[in-house]
C-alpha cells in the first residue's frame, strides 16, 4: 500500500482503544436529528455515531468547472457562485413531482435554478442568500444536483452516500460532518509495528480522508487502509473460532443405475460446468468426511439439476435426501420439479411446509421416519423436532444466504431413526455469488464450486429501462409476444392497493389489464397471501399454457421455470432491490426464444441516486457476479460471519473482486500474529459478537 496523501504513517504509532461509550451514542444525540431523521438513518443501518463515521460513500462526484452564468453551455456540468433573487414552488403535471424554482444571479446575468421534490428548501432561499450550486443547463434552466449555502466553493471531490427517498445524500453529508467531531474516539486498533511496516495511516486520518478527500486517489487509499483492517480482524476472528467435533457421513459408492436413469430422463445435455461440479460432488461422497460444498451459480445456470443428482446419489445408496428452501413458494416449485422425476424413477417424495394440513404433515413425517419416502422437499418445517428421518444421507439447502447459520446447521445435524451417529453430506446453493477467494475465506469449512455458464441454447435477456410515460409501449411489446404464442409475467411490488403507497398492486393491475391492454387474454394473479393449493394450481396452469399472463408479486422471484415465458414487465422497478430484480429477470430466458425484461419506473427526477444506479446496472449487465459487486457497493452484503443475514455488511470497505491482494495480505499477517492483541481483540469481539451489538458496530 502506498504512502497516504502526504500523511506521515510513522507519526503517532501507538495503538489506542476505542471510546465505545461516545461512539455508541445514538444519532439522535447530534444536533438537529429528530425521530424522523433517526428512523430514516436506521433504515439505512445507521443508528450510532460510529455508524456515521464508518458510512462509506458509494462514489465521489468529480470536480466541475467554475463558471459565470453568462458562460454556461447547454448540458455542461458546472458550478456557480450566485445570489438568490426569489424562489417559488409549483406542482407539475407529473404525479407527485414538485418543482422548486429560484431566480439566481451573478455579475454576468441571471438564470432559473431548479430542484425536484425539495419544496422544503424554499423557506431557506430568501432574497439575498448566497449559494454555491452545481448542476447543468437543461432546456434553459440550471438543474441543481448539489448545493451549499454561503460563499465557500463546493468541494471538488464530493462524496455521494447510499441514500433513500426519506434521506438525501446531502443531508447524510451534513450528519457525517457533525459526526467527524468524534473522530478521535475511533482510537487506533492496529499495532505500531504493523502500521509502520505497511505504511498505513492512522485510522482517524483514513476516515477523514474517506469523507473529505483532497483527491480521488486519497479516497481510495483511505478505503484500502480501512478494508485491510476489517479483513485482518475477520481473519483473526475466524482463526479463533472453535473447531467442530469430528463426525462421519455415510460413504457412498460410485454412481449407479439410478443416476444413469436420471440422466437419461433429462431432456438436455448437462453443460461442462455442471459436469465439473458433479465430479467434485462424487469425489466428496466417496469418503466419510461430510461433504460441505457451496454451489454458486447465476440465475438459470442449472444448480437444481446438480442438486437433485447429489440427492439421488444418496438415495441409490439406501439413504434419504432433503432439500430445504427459504419460502413455501420456492419449496413448492422444487417439489413440482422433482415430483415427476421421482415418480419416473420409482422414488417416494413428500412436501413438508408449515401450511400443510395437520393430517397431511403427520403422514409426510411418518413416511420419512419409515423410509417409504426417500426424498423430502420443504421449508424450515423440515428442521422441526417432530421430523425424524430413517437415514438422512444428503441435505441440500437452497438460497442458503436467506437462512440463519443455526437453521442451515440444524438440517445437517438432524436425527435419523437408524440410530447411527452419522451426519449427512451437505450441499449449499446460492444465486447471490461472491468471488471465490472471499467465499473460501468466510466459509472456510466449505469447498466452493461454480456453474459459470448457462445451458446450451439460452440467449442473453435483453433488458430495457423506461419510465411511466412509456409504459404503453411495454404492453404493446408484451402483446406482440403473446400473439406469437409466448407467455409473459407482470410483476408488481404490492398485493393490493394501499393508501400508504402508490406502487402498483398485483390484484388491481391484473384487473386493469383484463379490462385494458390485455382484453381478451387469459390473465392470472398470484401472490404470497393466496392459499398454498391455489398458488400451486395457478403455477401449474401457467406452466401448462392455460394462462397467457401471470401478474405476480415477488412470490415468483425464485424457482419458477416456464420456458415459454419470454417477456417480463416489472412495474415500479425502482422499489426493488438489485438482487431481487436479477432473480425476477431470471424467470424469463429459460427457453430457446429471445427474451426481454422491461423495467418500468417513476420519472427519473423522482428517483434516488441509489435507485438510478440499480436500474442502470440491470441494463448494463446480466452477469450475476458483476451485479453482486454493485449490490455490495449499494446495499451491503449482509453479515457473512454470524447469524444475521441482512443489513450493513461486516465488510464495510472491502470490494471482494478488486481487493484479493488485500485479503491475502491480511491472511498472511493474521497467521504471523497468531492471535489478536488486547486492543485488536476488542474489534474481533465486535465483529463476531451478538447480532444486536454487531449491527451497531
Question: What b/e string do you get for 547-574 counting C-beta neighbours within 10 Å, with b at 16 or more?
Answer: bbbbbbbbbbbbbbebbbbbbbbbbbbb
pLDDT at 637: 44
**Local structure of 524: helix, strand or coil:** strand
Cβ contact 231:666 at 8 Å: yes
Cβ contact 188:203 at 8 Å: yes
**Residues 248-294 pLDDT 10s:** 899 998 999 999 999 999 988 899 999 999 999 999 999 999 999 98
Q: What are the residue boundaries of the structural domains of the chain, listed by start?
A: 64-155, 257-444, 462-621
**pLDDT class for 11, splitting at 50, 70, 90?**
very low
Length of the chain, please? 697
pLDDT at 419: 52
Cβ contact 457:282 at 8 Å: no
Average pLDDT, stretch 357-369?
93
**Residues 105-128 pLDDT 10s:** 999 999 999 998 788 889 899 999
Cβ contact 393:420 at 8 Å: no
Phi/psi for 124 (5° steps) reads -95, -15
Residue 380 cell numbers, joined: 424450515
In whole angstroms, what is the distance from residue 425 CA to residue 412 CA?
A: 8
Q: How many helices (H) and strands (E) does the chain have?
A: 23, 20
Task: Look up the CATH architecture of domain 257-444.
Answer: 3-Layer(aba) Sandwich (3.40)
Lowest mean pLDDT among 180-194, 301-315, 423-437: 423-437
Phi/psi for 286 (5° steps) reads -80, -5
Q: With 70 as the cut, is the pLDDT of residue 385 above it?
A: yes
In whole angstroms, what is the distance from residue 644 CA to residue 627 CA?
A: 22
In whole angstroms, what is the distance from residue 39 CA to residue 34 CA?
A: 9
**pLDDT class for 12, splitting at 50, 70, 90?**
very low
DSSP classification of residue 46? -
Torsion of the alpha carbons at 323, 582, 539 and 356, rounded to the nearest 10: 40
Q: Model's pTM, two decimal places?
A: 0.70
**Local structure of 55: helix, strand or coil:** coil
Report the percentage of the chain scoring pLDDT > 90. Answer: 43
Report the percentage of the chain scoring pLDDT > 70. Answer: 85
In whole angstroms, what is the distance from residue 45 CA to residue 463 CA?
A: 31
**Residues 387-418 pLDDT 10s:** 999 999 999 998 765 555 566 667 766 666 66
Residue 666 cell numbers, joined: 491480511
DSSP classification of residue 431? S
**Residues 17-73 pLDDT 10s:** 666 788 889 999 999 899 999 999 998 889 999 999 999 998 888 878 899 999 999
HSE (side-chain half, CA atoms, 13 Å) at 12: 12
Q: Which residue has the higher pLDDT, 436 or 335?
A: 335
**Residues 326-355 pLDDT 10s:** 888 788 878 888 988 999 999 999 999 988
Alpha helices in 102-243 (DSSP H): 169-179, 192-198, 203-211, 216-240
Q: What topology is assigned to 64-155 in CATH?
A: OB fold (Dihydrolipoamide Acetyltransferase, E2P) (2.40.50)
In whole angstroms, what is the distance from residue 652 CA to residue 178 CA?
A: 20
Lowest mean pLDDT among 341-355, 479-493, 682-696: 682-696
Cβ contact 132:147 at 8 Å: yes
Cβ atoms within 10 A of the Cβ of 680, count?
22
In whole angstroms, what is the distance from residue 573 CA to residue 583 CA?
A: 13
DSSP classification of residue 367? H
Strands 487-491 and 375-378: unpaired
Residue 245 neighbours by CB under 8 Å, 6+ apart: none
**For the domain 462-621, what is the CATH code?**
3.40.50.300
Task: Specify which residues 112 forms β-bridges with.
Answer: 103
Judge if 64-155 and 257-444 fold alike in CATH terms. Answer: no
pLDDT at 5: 38
**pLDDT class for 297, splitting at 50, 70, 90?**
confident
Residue 328 cell numbers, joined: 413455501
**Local structure of 138: helix, strand or coil:** strand
Amino acid at each position: 500500500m502506498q504512502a497516504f496523501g502526504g500523511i506521515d504513517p510513522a507519526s503517532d504509532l501507538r495503538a489506542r482503544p476505542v471510546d465505545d461509550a461516545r461512539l455508541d451514542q445514538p444519532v439522535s444525540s447530534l444536533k438537529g436529528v429528530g425521530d424522523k431523521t433517526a428512523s430514516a438513518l436506521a433504515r439505512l443501518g445507521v443508528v450510532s455515531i460510529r455508524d456515521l463515521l464508518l458510512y462509506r460513500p458509494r462514489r465521489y462526484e468529480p470536480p466541475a468547472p467554475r463558471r459565470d452564468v453568462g458562460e454556461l453551455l447547454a448540458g455542461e456540468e458546472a458550478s456557480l457562485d450566485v445570489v438568490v433573487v426569489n424562489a417559488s414552488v409549483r406542482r407539475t403535471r407529473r404525479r407527485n413531482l414538485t418543482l422548486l424554482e429560484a431566480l439566481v444571479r451573478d455579475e454576468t446575468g441571471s438564470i432559473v435554478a431548479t430542484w425536484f421534490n425539495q419544496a422544503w428548501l424554499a423557506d431557506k432561499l430568501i432574497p439575498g442568500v448566497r449559494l454555491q450550486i452545481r448542476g447543468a443547463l437543461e432546456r434553459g434552466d440550471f438543474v441543481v444536483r448539489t448545493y451549499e449555502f454561503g460563499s465557500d466553493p463546493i468541494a471538488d471531490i464530493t462524496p455521494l452516500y447510499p441514500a433513500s427517498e426519506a434521506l438525501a445524500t446531502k443531508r447524510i453529508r451534513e450528519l457525517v460532518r457533525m459526526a467527524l467531531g468524534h473522530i478521535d474516539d475511533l482510537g487506533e486498533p492496529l499495532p505500531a509495528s504493523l502500521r509502520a511496516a505497511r505504511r498505513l495511516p492512522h485510522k482517524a486520518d483514513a476516515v477523514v480522508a474517506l469523507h473529505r478527500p483532497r483527491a480521488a486517489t486519497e479516497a481510495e487509499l483511505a478505503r484500502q487502509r480501512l478494508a485491510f483492517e476489517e479483513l485482518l480482524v475477520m481473519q483473526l476472528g475466524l482463526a479463533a473460532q472453535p473447531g467442530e467435533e469430528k463426525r462421519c457421513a455415510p460413504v457412498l459408492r460410485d454412481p449407479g443405475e439410478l443416476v444413469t436413469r436420471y440422466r437419461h430422463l433429462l431432456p438436455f445435455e448437462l453443460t461442462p460446468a455442471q459436469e465439473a461440479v458433479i465430479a467434485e460432488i462424487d469425489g466428496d461422497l466417496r469418503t466419510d468426511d461430510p461433504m460441505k460444498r457451496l454451489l454458486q451459480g447465476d440465475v438459470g445456470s442449472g444448480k437444481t439439476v446438480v442438486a437433485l443428482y447429489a440427492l439421488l446419489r444418496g438415495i441409490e445408496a439406501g439413504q434419504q435426501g432433503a432439500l430445504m428452501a427459504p419460502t413455501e413458494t420456492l419449496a413448492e416449485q422444487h417439489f413440482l420439479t422433482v415430483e415427476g422425476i421421482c415418480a419416473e424413477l420409482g422414488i417416494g417424495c413428500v412436501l413438508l411446509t408449515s401450511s400443510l394440513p395437520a393430517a397431511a404433515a403427520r403422514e409426510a413425517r411418518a413416511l420419512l421416519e419409515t423410509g417409504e419416502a426417500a426424498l423430502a422437499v420443504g421449508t424450515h418445517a423440515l428442521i422441526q423436532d417432530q421430523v425424524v428421518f430413517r437415514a438422512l444421507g444428503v441435505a441440500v439447502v437452497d438460497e442458503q444466504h436467506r437462512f440463519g447459520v443455526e437453521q442451515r446447521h440444524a438440517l445437517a445435524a438432524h436425527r435419523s431413526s437408524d440410530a447411527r451417529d452419522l451426519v449427512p453430506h451437505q450441499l449449499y446453493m446460492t444465486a447471490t455469488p461472491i468471488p471465490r477467494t472471499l467465499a473460501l475465506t468466510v466459509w472456510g469449512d466449505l469447498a466452493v464450486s461454480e456453474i459459470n455458464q448457462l445451458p446450451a441454447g439460452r440467449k442473453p435477456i435483453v433488458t430495457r429501462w423506461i419510465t411511466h410515460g412509456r409504459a404503453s409501449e411495454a404492453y404493446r411489446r408484451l402483446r406482440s409476444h403473446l400473439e406469437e404464442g409466448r407467455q409473459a409475467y407482470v410483476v408488481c411490488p404490492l398485493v393490493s392497493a394501499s393508501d400508504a403507497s402508490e406502487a402498483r398492486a398485483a390484484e388491481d393491475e391484473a384487473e386493469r389489464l383484463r379490462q385494458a391492454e390485455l382484453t381478451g387474454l387469459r390473465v392470472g394473479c398470484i401472490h404470497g397471501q393466496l392459499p398454498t393449493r391455489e398458488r400451486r394450481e395457478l403455477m401449474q396452469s401457467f406452466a401448462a399454457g392455460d394462462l397467457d399472463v401471470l401478474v405476480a408479486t415477488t412470490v415468483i422471484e425464485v424457482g419458477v421455470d416456464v420456458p415459454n415465458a419470454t417477456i417480463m414487465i416489472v412495474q415500479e422497478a425502482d422499489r426493488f432491490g438489485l438482487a431481487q430484480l436479477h432473480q425476477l429477470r431470471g424467470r424469463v430466458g429459460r427457453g430457446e426464444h429471445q427474451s426481454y425484461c422491461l423495467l418500468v419506473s417513476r420519472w427519473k427526477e423522482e428517483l434516488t441516486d441509489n435507485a438510478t444506479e440499480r436500474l442502470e446496472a440491470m441494463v448494463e449487465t446480466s452477469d450475476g457476479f458483476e451485479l453482486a459487486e454493485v449490490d455490495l457497493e449499494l446495499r451491503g452484503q449482509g453479515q457473512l460471519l454470524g447469524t444475521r443475514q441482512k443489513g450493513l455488511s461486516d465488510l464495510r470497505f472491502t470490494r471482494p473482486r478488486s481487493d484479493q491482494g488485500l485479503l491475502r495480505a491480511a491472511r498472511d499477517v493474521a497467521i504471523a500474529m497468531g492471535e489478536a492483541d488486547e486492543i485488536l481483540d476488542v474489534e474481533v469481539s465486535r465483529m463476531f459478537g451478538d447480532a444486536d451489538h454487531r449491527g451497531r458496530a
